[in-house]
């Protein structure tokens, strides 16, 4: 199979879908790898490194997309890339389609086979290809929040951990999944008073055990959210209902009652966001202020640390890339029920329930279309 690895086009996105190590393994399995010039540069992988690994490095994105039977990317394609879509081309990348109607339309019109990293499941029901980026975004979100709490950046001028004689900042974490757990570890490590809210009480029990009583846990409901947001210096959103648009847990009214100079980091913004006042921002212009509350809502936070992120991502995605290349999409999907969960569009048919419900469109179960 010819596998295409284009340079990412999203604002300041510096990750790449396949590393030279991956290109070498694909070559050894008999495949051809076409890498766009400079695709790995900002992640620390030179064109030379790809060439030494046996990949062909070509200057033109159109050539990479046009020759490939499968394109492996990191983030969803943006409008200038839609011209490359064609019937039967396999696209393996993060898609986060629920809030992206236009991209969904394009993938369906052009009959692409689109498999989204974020909805692929492992045999235990986990999200193995979302997890590495959630681990990174979770860790980063506290770092970013601490930075925006500085006066210079519009924040309240509070040091997260306080100092002896001065209390620490209060951090509220919404969602206790992968993002939430990583955030908690960093927030507690920096000495912040940390409260985590989740609807899953068993998860709260586990977290209470993991953090040995140092974490305050609360059931997630509007009453508790109203109280916690009023008291918090930093609110970090990381809830997820896989494939669907995130629920708006923090309302505009709650934001209006937050402290001036408090900070919101909405990590769930890639699924539409869990804060009513949030809208997607980019790594170039990451923040804005509503009612004196600083909002940071970057949809591709791991893109800011591309070396770590590319290695972490490709460690997880590569075995799927190799199976898709070795068997072709239809057979690889038939062999792996978890990969089928990742199928979002198949030759003009929408195959993901969550995306369909978020966009109120008809859908067909993936298992039915690939047979
Ligand atoms: N912005 C970025 O760069 C970036 C990077 C990675 C991940 N993410 C996003 O972060 C989000 C979280 O990812 P994850 O891997 O931690 O997901 P996860 O499935 O591991 O955890 C989600 C948690 O949210 C909880 N939840 C669901 N509804 C809730 C509610 N009403 N109140 C409180 N908690 C609720 C679930 O019980 C679960 O514990 C996803 O939207 C993911 O796409 C964003």
Mean pLDDT of 284-305: 96
Q: Is 76 exposed, middle or buried (0-12, 13-18, 19+ CB in 10 A)?
A: buried
Q: Which residues pair with 72 in a beta bridge?
A: 92
**With 90 as the cut, is the pLDDT of residue 362 above it?**
yes
Q: Which atom of ligand 1 is nearest to the CA of 246?
A: 41
- Cα–Cα distance, 349 to 355 (Å, whole number): 12
Candidate list 31, 96, 170, 295, residue with the active-site label = 96
Tell how far the Cα of 148 is from the centroid of ligand 1, in angstroms: 22
Mean pLDDT of 123-136: 94
- Cα–Cα distance, 320 to 323 (Å, whole number): 5
Tell how far the Cα of 292 is from the centroid of ligand 1, in angstroms: 26
**With 90 as the cut, is the pLDDT of residue 371 above it?**
no
User: pLDDT for 149-162, tens place per residue?
Assistant: 999 999 999 999 99
- Cα–Cα distance, 53 to 27 (Å, whole number): 8
**Quick one: pLDDT at residue 298?**
96
Write 323-328 long-range contacts (CB < 8 A, 24+).
Answer: 324/70, 324/90, 324/92, 324/115, 325/1, 325/3, 325/26, 325/29, 325/31, 325/70, 326/29, 328/1
Q: What percent of the chain shows pLDDT beyond 90?
A: 97
User: pLDDT for 347-357, tens place per residue?
Assistant: 999 999 999 99
**Quick one: pLDDT at residue 242?**
84
**What rounded mean pLDDT belongs to the chain?**
96
CB-defined site of ligand 1, < 6 Å: 118, 130, 133-134, 137, 174-180, 197-200, 203, 220, 238-241, 246-247, 249, 267-271, 298-302
- Cα–Cα distance, 156 to 134 (Å, whole number): 27
**Quick one: pLDDT at residue 65?**
98
**With 90 as the cut, is the pLDDT of residue 21 above it?**
yes
- Going by C-alpha positions, the residue among 164, 202, 211, 163 that lies closest to residue 184 is 211
Tell how far the Cα of 244 is from the centroid of ligand 1, in angstroms: 11
**With 90 as the cut, is the pLDDT of residue 12 above it?**
no
User: pLDDT for 70-114, tens place per residue?
Assistant: 999 999 999 999 999 999 999 999 999 999 999 999 999 999 999
Establish whether 96 is a catalytic residue: yes
Tokens standing for residue 89: 């081309």
Closest-CA residue, ligand 1 atom 44, reads 267
**With 90 as the cut, is the pLDDT of residue 45 above it?**
yes
- DSSP structural state of residue 295: E
What is the reported pTM? 0.88
User: pLDDT for 165-182, tens place per residue?
Assistant: 999 999 999 999 999 999
C-alpha distances in Å from residue 310, one per residue of 156, 220, 241, 315, 317: 34, 33, 25, 8, 10
pLDDT band of residue 116 (cuts 50, 70, 90) is very high
Q: Which atom of ligand 1 is nearest to the CA of 303?
A: 3
Closest-CA residue, ligand 1 atom 24, reads 239
């Amino acid at each position: 199979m010819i596998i295409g690895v284009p340079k990412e086009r999203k604002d300041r996105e510096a990750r790449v879908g396949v590393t030279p190590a991956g290109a070498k393994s694909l070559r050894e399995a008999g495949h051809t790898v076409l890498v766009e010039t400079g695709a790995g540069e900002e992640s620390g992988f030179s064109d030379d490194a790809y060439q030494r690994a046996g990949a062909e490095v070509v200057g033109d994105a159109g050539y990479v997309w046009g020759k490939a039977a499968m394109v492996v990317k990191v983030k969803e394609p943006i409008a200038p890339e839609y011209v490359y879509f064609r019937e039967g081309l396999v696209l393996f990348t993060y898609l986060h389609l629920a809030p992206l109607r236009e991209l969904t339309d394009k993938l369906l019109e052009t009959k692409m086979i689109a498999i989204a990293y974020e909805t692929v499941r492992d045999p235990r029901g986990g999200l193995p290809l979302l997890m590495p980026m959630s681990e990174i975004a979770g860790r980063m979100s506290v770092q970013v929040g601490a930075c925006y709490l500085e006066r210079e950046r519009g924040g309240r001028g509070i040091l997260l951990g306080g100092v002896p004689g001065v209390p620490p900042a209060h951090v509220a974490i919404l969602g206790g999944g992968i993002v939430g757990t990583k955030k908690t570890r960093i927030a507690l490590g920096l000495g912040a008073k940390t409260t985590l809210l989740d609807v899953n009480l068993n998860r709260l029990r586990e977290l209470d055990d993991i953090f040995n009583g140092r974490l305050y846990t609360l059931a997630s409901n509007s009453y508790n959210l109203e109280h916690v947001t009023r008291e918090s210096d930093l609110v970090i959103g990381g809830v997820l209902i896989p494939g669907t648009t995130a629920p708006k847990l923090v309302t505009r009214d709650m934001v209006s009652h937050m402290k001036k100079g408090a900070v919101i980091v909405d990590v769930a913004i890639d699924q539409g966001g869990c804060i009513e006042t949030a809208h997607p921002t980019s790594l170039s212009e990451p923040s804005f202020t509503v009612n004196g509350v600083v909002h940071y809502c970057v949809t591709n936070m791991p893109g800011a640390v591309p070396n770590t992120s590319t290695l972490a991502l490709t460690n997880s995605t590569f075995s799927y890339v190799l199976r898709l290349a070795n068997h072709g999409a239809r057979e690889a999907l038939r062999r792996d029920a978890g990969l089928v969960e990742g199928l979002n569009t198949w030759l003009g048919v929408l195959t993901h329930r969550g995306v369909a419900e978020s966009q109120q469109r008809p859908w067909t179960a993936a298992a039915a279309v690939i047979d």
